[in-house]
Amino acid sequence: MPVSILVQSPVSFILTDLVKAAKWTFVDFQSPSFSAVMMEYTTPPSYGSTVVNVGGIAQDGVILCAGSGNAATHTKVKDDAENDWPAPEEVKFIWNDRSKDGKPVTAVLEGSLGKRLDKVDVMAKVPGFIKTIVGGVAGTKPYIYQV
């Protein structure tokens, strides 16, 4: 069953204080019968450290549910020696949304992430001239963990 789970956490996009996210987690679950997607991010302290979560589940031709009542959790983490972030090893995603006719729909996706496909040093990818304009992102060393 072909599955690829794309998880990014934690990451601050290029302009930390101006982009309202300090941490993101994404999941894209695709299988022959279901597609389940979720995006959760936490705003930086200057925006109240608010957790925003949107997601939904679909099958061929139909959205089973969508909404913002979901939760993304890293149930097991391991400190990354390179950058001090807690790298996720196991995750649990809970969808808790409504269907088109208002009925509650829940789903859980959990498990070990397995071998990581990539780890991205975000600031290394930022074009030079943007880094110059921003003048440095104080106290942040953003990374993306992709599995």
Partner 1 sequence: MEGHADAQTISGIHTTCQFNTKIFYPDGTTPALWSSDALDNADFDADKLSFHADGCAISLNGDGTSYSVKSVTNEASIVNLTVSQAAPGFHVGKDGKSYFGTDLKNPWGSMRHGFWPRCHVEGSIITKAGEIDFKGRGLFIHALQGMKPHHAGIYPCPIACLFYSD
56-60 long-range Cβ contacts below 8 angstroms, 24+ apart: 56/95, 56/97, 57/95, 57/97, 57/105, 57/107, 58/34, 59/33, 59/34, 59/35
Alpha carbons 45 and 20: distance in angstroms, whole number = 9
Contact call for residue 87 and partner 1 (CB under 8 A): no
Q: Position 45: which residue type?
A: P
* Closer by beta carbon to partner 1, 84 or else 100: 100
Q: Does residue 128 interact with partner 1 by CB under 8 A?
A: no
- How big is the site for partner 1, counted in residues (CB under 8 A)? 40
Find the binder of partner 1 among 49, 68, 83, 106 (CB under 8 A): 68
Instruction: State in angstroms the smallest separation of the CB of 11 from partner 1.
Output: 14
Q: Does 4 bind partner 1 (CB under 8 A)?
A: yes
Q: Please name every residue paired with 92 in a beta bridge, in sequence order, or none if there are none.
A: 73, 110
Stretch that binds partner 1, among 51-59, 77-85, 88-96, 104-112 (CB under 8 A): 51-59
Q: Is 51 in the site for partner 1 (CB under 8 A)?
A: no
Alpha carbon distance 90, 5 (integer Å): 12
DSSP character at residue 16? T
Distance, CA of 27 to CA of 37 (rounded, Å): 5
3 binds partner 1 (CB under 8 A): yes
Residues that bind partner 1 (CB under 8 A): 2-4, 6, 15, 17-20, 28, 30, 35-37, 39, 43, 47, 50, 52, 54-63, 66-68, 115, 117-118, 125, 127, 130, 133, 146
